[in-house]
Amino acid sequence: MIIRPKLNWFRLLFVWRGSVLPQLLPRLGLIFALSVAAIFMHDHMRHYPIGLGTPPFALVGIALAVFLGFRNSASYERWWEGRKLWGALLNTSRALAQQVLSLPERRDPAQSRRFLAALGGLAHALRHQLRGTDALSDLSSRLPADLHARVAAAKYRPALILLWLGEWVADRKREGTFDGYAVLAIQHNLNALSDVIGGCERIASTPLPFSYSVMIHRTIYLFCVMLPFGLVDGAGVLTPLFALLVAYAFMALEAIAAQIEDPFGLEENDLALNAMCDMIEVALHDMAADPDFPLAPKPFTPSRDFILD
């Protein structure tokens, strides 16, 4: 994900990194070529056969804008829900750390360290699961050896780490470290973590209906390909300019919607999951105030230009 400081209106016109314009250039080049062909045919063919006019495009454009608005709203809702889920992961992790560090009747720093390290590892395991990458290298330095061996053999690794956290709490209950009320409070937050994992898995495994995306995609490109032949009667030599403006607006909206539909990916406008995992570990490290706790990663601070996750 790219995070920038707020740009003024003039600099925003020339932003390249993070926009969808680079991937649209070949398609816009095709629209420009069709616009030039439409001008040539209009000026050099005695009986211009494709005088479509603008009224049909006005009607289709309005309907297409409505569908694109719905498509973008649905995609942005998925992106924002993913961000809220990861915000809940941070908040719940802090709450669990506070409970584990403050509720025990007799604190064992080594046991607390194991719990907090596994809690930080859960965020990394979830990030890798959502992105379809291997989490074992990141988890090897964070999880206890016995838990790492169990995680290596599991398919749903965040859920297994969550199970281990519950087992850790049960062991402390049997030892008398936690009373029943403390266990209930911690279990409530462990259940909240389960909701976060399930919510992220639901978003990642349920894309928008494919037939709906295909219908909008085909309509946009058919509309943009025919548009120069409808504008040429009224726009003349300015046909390429107006055709490119309309095509860029429609194609860019569709490309942005497709990009943020999966908020957990690695594209420039997807969520910065690496930075969020680091933020969680920094918070746990600060709360533990334990010199033997694994070193926290460098805090995430945007540079003057951009940060790419």
Q: What average pLDDT does the segment 217-223 reach? A: 91
Tell me how far apart the alpha carbons of residues 145 and 164 are, in angstroms, rounded to a whole number: 12
Over 60: is that where the pLDDT of 268 sits? yes
Nearest residue to 157 via CA among 201, 125, 205: 125
Q: What is the mean pLDDT of the chain?
A: 86
> What pLDDT was estimated at residue 131?
93
User: pTM for this one?
Assistant: 0.85
C-alpha pair distances (Å), 178 with each of 55, 169, 193? 73, 8, 20
Question: Could you count the other beta carbons within 10 Å of the beta carbon of residue 171?
Answer: 12
Q: What average pLDDT does the segment 38-49 reach? A: 72
Radius of gyration for the alpha carbons in the chain, expressed in angstroms and rounded: 27
Position with higher pLDDT, 209 vs 43: 209
> What pLDDT was estimated at residue 291?
67
Tell me how far apart the alpha carbons of residues 304 and 301 are, in angstroms, rounded to a whole number: 10
Tell me the pLDDT band of 43, cut-offs 50, 70 and 90.
Answer: confident
pLDDT tens-digit readout, 71-128: 899 999 999 999 999 999 999 999 999 999 988 877 788 888 899 999 999 999 999 9
Q: What percent of the chain has pLDDT over 70?
A: 88
Q: What average pLDDT does the segment 46-54 reach? A: 61
Over 80: is that where the pLDDT of 243 sits? yes
Nearest residue to 118 via CA among 91, 84, 86, 151: 151
Nearest residue to 65 via CA among 252, 208, 238: 252
Tell me how far apart the alpha carbons of residues 79 and 260 are, in angstroms, rounded to a whole number: 6
Range name among 46-60, 62-76, 102-116 with the lowest pLDDT average: 46-60
Hunting for tokens 């956290």 — which residue is that?
165
Position with higher pLDDT, 89 vs 66: 89
